[in-house]
Amino acid sequence: MSASKETTQVRFARTIQEKGLAGPDTPVLLMVSGGSDSTSLAYLAADLHRQGGLGQLAILHVNHNLRGEASDGDAEFVRSLAGALRIPLFMVQVDIPRLVQMTGDNMEAVARQERYQAANEALESLCLHVGAPLSEGRIFTAHTQDDRVENFYMRSIVGTGPGGFRSMRYRNGSIVRPCLDVSRDDLRAYLGMRELDSAEDESVVLVRDPQGNLWREDATNAHTDRFRAYVRHKIVPVAKERNPRLLDTLCRSMNLIADEDDMLEGMALDVQNRFVSWLSESSEPRYSEGCLLGPGMAIQPKPLVRRCITNVLQLMLGDEVRVESTSVQAVCQAYDGQAPVSGYTANIQGDLAVSANKRGVRIEPMSAFRARRKR
| Rounded CA separation 314/349 (Å) | 11
| Rounded CA separation 256/262 (Å) | 10
* 38 appears as a binding residue in the annotation: yes
Burial of 166 (0-12, 13-18, 19+ CB in 10 A): buried
* 35 appears as a binding residue in the annotation: yes
Q: Which residue type sits at 131?
A: G
Would you call 202 helix, strand, or coil by DSSP?
coil
Classify residue 91 by its DSSP letter.
E
* 327 appears as a binding residue in the annotation: no
| Rounded CA separation 315/173 (Å) | 11
Q: Which residue type sits at 55?
A: G
Q: Give the other-Cβ count within 10 Å of 100's Cβ.
A: 17
Half-sphere exposure of 272 (CA within 13 A, CB side): 20
Closest CA to 23 of 32, 13, 33: 13
Instruction: Work out whether strand 171-172 and strand 175-176 pair parallel, antiparallel, or are unpaired.
Output: antiparallel
Burial of 253 (0-12, 13-18, 19+ CB in 10 A): middle
Residues of the chain by 3-state class (helix, strand, coil), percent to 5: 55, 15, 30
* 33 appears as a binding residue in the annotation: yes
| Residues annotated in a binding site | 33-38
Q: Which residues are annotated as a binding site for ATP?
A: 33-38
